[in-house]
Structure 1
């Protein structure tokens, strides 16, 4: 029997499998498809998902396989009106190394994740269709269409909007489908337009959008309003239809478009479950929530679901925490799903308003909120004290995303970052100032490999005044102290960071008991 069975091998399922595998948790991942898709679908990870991919060790491959977002060229009546870069003026900051989303075909991202997962000896099992689930109280049995059974400690449905897991659980998928928000989509082979722009033809009666797919010579994402039959019914997506739409809105000859795959009709859906967990079965990603594509939040919300769940499921599966820890997955991510539905709807309204005027386009869907960097869990039971925690001059609170900062390794003299310290399956305890060294030693004694401790002396750092500690980071520019509010007289000198890089606890420099109490509660 495996510890965790994951149903669905898209980005959500692969992220979860990879996070569990690196924690030495037995995991199997199955998918109903007979082969791996070669279609593009989602356009890429947002800044917060980029941080997740960096933690999992695949960010270099993702950056190499994709490209930065392209400037958007908007047309009216087939004539270029304006070029817009929604990220103009934006740049990485000390606390956030990724300031924009990254364009990469979903099939390529999945390939990178599968390759990384294979290093842990885990491979996706294809042609495995789930048809029944039995929860026995202390285990789960999954029945497949071919008559085989898989036993597991827990089962996670990452199998998309038409989730078999959700349907087998009998969970309602409440919300609405907007039949007036229709779009035909596909991956196309096309020659003609330059590949340095995301081309957007918006007219009063419709639109065609073409975005180059990175890593291809002539591949494009194609999106358009549908064609309609004489009776007003929308016609299904087709190669000939795409050619007609291309000529109608862009003026390009239909013969430029030589092939089309992943032909689909998109309808605006806003739906979510009211529970993420039923006994030993959980849901993540589109299996739990779907919403407007505006802002590119679908795949990203699923990735962040998986990253929230991974460390919790690992602790429960290995007996280090009780099953109640899994309740915090729903407690933290269900409100985020509801917020995401609202945000996607808001970004869609902003886009529909923008395209009414020449020069308006999809840049209206991009906002600070769509980066994912401001999502936290201050309300969570895993965020003791929450908004009321004393934190000096810092706005940081338990539950917030833990900021990055450039530092220098005191032992080697090499530059490093806080995110490099956080990366991996452990909690991280930061101690600001020499007086925190004793608390760091106590944490290592009490919790062993579960916690990695770092001493961050207050700058400046004369060589003879750097206190001894196995892991000491020099904050020469003061960015770490500023990001964590460790300045002034009354500051949180101890910062415990969760494995998913959110702040777990803020405490004073000598408060070893606060860290011990947190882990005692986590073990229940």
Structure 2
């Protein structure tokens, strides 16, 4: 077995979570290796909903416009009655964007297209996944992790500072650590299949037998492709024919029509729906992310989004500790993300119950814009705030004007791997600059001006207040001018050295 030189992070699993983490580390200059035991990328559409909060994440990492160009909006759902008549409705809540929330409806993008764009972005940053390379064992000590890998070229050992298991619900890493994965099987088995078919137009999500778990079936045109996705419950036991002929027969049986023909199947799966949550997300120098840490029923389109946001949270923290921040910063990953997954499990399960009753509507609760970390150890307020925006909340967007007269968005100021310190109506900067911290004054005479009052409306700061925004777009600290000294202790805690 060959022994390879150390890198900082080994990521096992090159799905959405692993790719997000790799991009986050790459744009911060942290060394890593991204491995995937399968020889080829995932080619299915399982996670096809990109929620508004994830769209904000994708804007930050530089792929949102490409994602939007490949996908599209969800079609209206067309619910057929037994006599062949139908009614139409919106499957997802449509609201107009606001200055604070620029993205307000989910996108439909098949997972294989999303992950393809993420691999392109990773390649732009100088990295690519190592397909056909499997993690087969590891041991950790106080200084790092020794991992054993297997590929076509043989076995090798690699020494890393941290290992992240992003290898899905059957996670090798979680099993090896003997971390519990409690939860329940939800008593629903279903199929999902990406197919070429004829007999239906592409302007609607065709749904039959709503509210009847024996007959229910949906056929949805997949944006950005010529494919349809077939979804429907199936018996808990028994073989299911997922061939083109088998799916054609299933559709005919469910809907009582013989004019819909499946010609080919590009990907198909039969699965039992589960709701499970790992007992812990960190054990020493090993972490879990994405489906390795939580598994949801697909209702509500939460799984891929929660996985991306896990990695988005973990990435900047690993980079900070790799650069010298206290190791305790990494404890905040589980502290912040595990309660979010627990809430998502409850939401997805309740949406599944609604689906059983024939209610397929989705509202703001799935958009993930209201997710935050107000109870986090990284949330600081001096003095404590009783209302409005709180430390730990998502930092809203706002249109601003640069001192040179050009329009700026607050998200433009946040974009990148840095922290952002905003002084609202402050006279001078009292916090010294340092690498990785961008400082802006929002006031007349500052470098950006809140001409429309949108920043004031969204943030509710008092003149003289300082607000520190984390690299992942959440508010870290809000302090009054008299309490600005507290920012120095906070910045030291997250890895900043004083740079006079």
Aligned residues of 1:182 and 1:225 also touching (Cα < 8 A): yes
Q: 1:429 is matched with which residue: 408, 421, 436?
A: 421
Alignment-derived partner of residue 461 in structure 1: none
Counterpart selection for 1:346 from 350, 355, 362: 350
Native 8 Å contact 1:493 1:508 kept in 2: yes
Q: 1:26 aligns with which of 27, 31, 37?
A: 31
Equivalence map 1:217-296=2 (5 Å): 217=226, 219-226=227-234, 233=238, 235=240, 237-253=242-258, 256-296=261-301
Structure 2 distance, partners of 1:271, 1:166, is 13
Instruction: Classify the secondary structure of the residue corresponding to 1:336.
Output: helix
Corresponding position: 1:90 with 2:85:
no
Q: CA RMSD in A?
A: 1.9
In the alignment, which residue of structure 1 is the partner of 2:393?
400
1:309 aligns with 2:284: no
Alignment check: 8 A CA contact 2:389 2:460 kept: yes
Distance 1:292 1:443 in 2: 48
Paired residues of 2:44 and 2:111 also in contact (CA < 8 A): yes
Following TM superposition, by how much is the alpha carbon of 1:15 offset from its aligned partner in structure 2, in angstroms? 0.5
Aligned pairs (5 A) from 1:86-485: 86-87=91-92, 89-145=94-150, 146-178=154-186, 180-203=187-210, 204=212, 205-217=214-226, 219-226=227-234, 233=238, 235=240, 237-253=242-258, 256-319=261-324, 321-353=325-357, 355=358, 360=359, 362-363=360-361, 366-385=362-381, 389-390=384-385, 394-411=387-404, 413-435=405-427, 437-439=428-430, 442-444=431-433, 448-457=434-443, 466-467=444-445, 469=446, 472-485=447-460
Instruction: Return 5+ residue gaps in structure 2 as ranges.
Output: 1-5
Superposed CA deviations along residues 26-55 of structure 1, whole A, max 9, x for unmatched, are: 111000011123222211310110000000
Contact 2:194 2:266 in 1 (8 A): yes
Secondary structure of the residue aligned to 1:305 is: helix
Given the superposition, is the C-alpha separation of residues 37 and 86 from structure 1 closer, same or farther in structure 2, using an over 3 Å criterion?
closer
| 1:504 is aligned to 2:476 | yes
Stretch of structure 1 that moved more, 235-244 or 287-296 = 235-244
- How many residues were matched structurally? 486
Q: Contact 1:438/1:510 (CA < 8 Å) preserved in 2?
A: no
What is the CA deviation profile of residues 101-128 of structure 1, one whole-angstrom value per residue up to 9, with x for unaligned ones? 1111111111111111111211100101
User: Does the 8 Å contact 1:201/1:209 carry over to 2?
Assistant: yes
Q: The residue matched to 1:199 in structure 2 has which SS?
A: strand
More displaced 10-residue stretch of structure 1: 200-209 or 264-273 = 200-209
Contact 2:425 2:463 in 1 (8 A): no
- Equivalent pair of 2:199/2:261 in contact (CA under 8 Å): yes
Provide the rounded CA distance (Å) in 2 between the counterparts of 1:120 and 1:10: 17
Q: Which residue of 2 aligns with 1:8?
A: 13
Question: For residues 249 and 273 of structure 2, what CA distance do their matches in structure 1 show?
Answer: 23
Deviations 1:338-370 (A, max 9, x none): 1111111111122222x1xxxx4x22xx12221
Matches of 1:492 and 1:339, distance apart in 2: 36
Higher strand share: 2
1:518 matched to which residue of 2?
Answer: 490
494-503 or 82-91, which deviates more:
82-91
Deviations 1:362-393 (A, max 9, x none): 22xx122210000111111111249x7136xx
> CA 1:78–1:17 in 2, change beyond 3 Å: closer, same or farther?
farther
Q: Displacement of 1:521 after TM fit?
A: 2.5
8 Å CA contact 2:148–2:157 kept in 1: the answer is yes
Contact 1:431 1:509 in 2 (8 A): no
Contact 1:78 / 1:201 at 8 angstroms: preserved in 2? no
TM (norm. structure 1) is 0.89
Higher helix share: 1
Looking at structure 2, the residues matched to 255 and 77 of structure 1 have their Cα atoms a distance apart, in angstroms, of 16
Q: Which moved more, 1:398-407 or 1:193-202?
A: 193-202
How many angstroms apart in 2 are the aligned matches of 1:113 and 1:233?
37
Secondary structure of residue in 2 paired with 1:506: strand
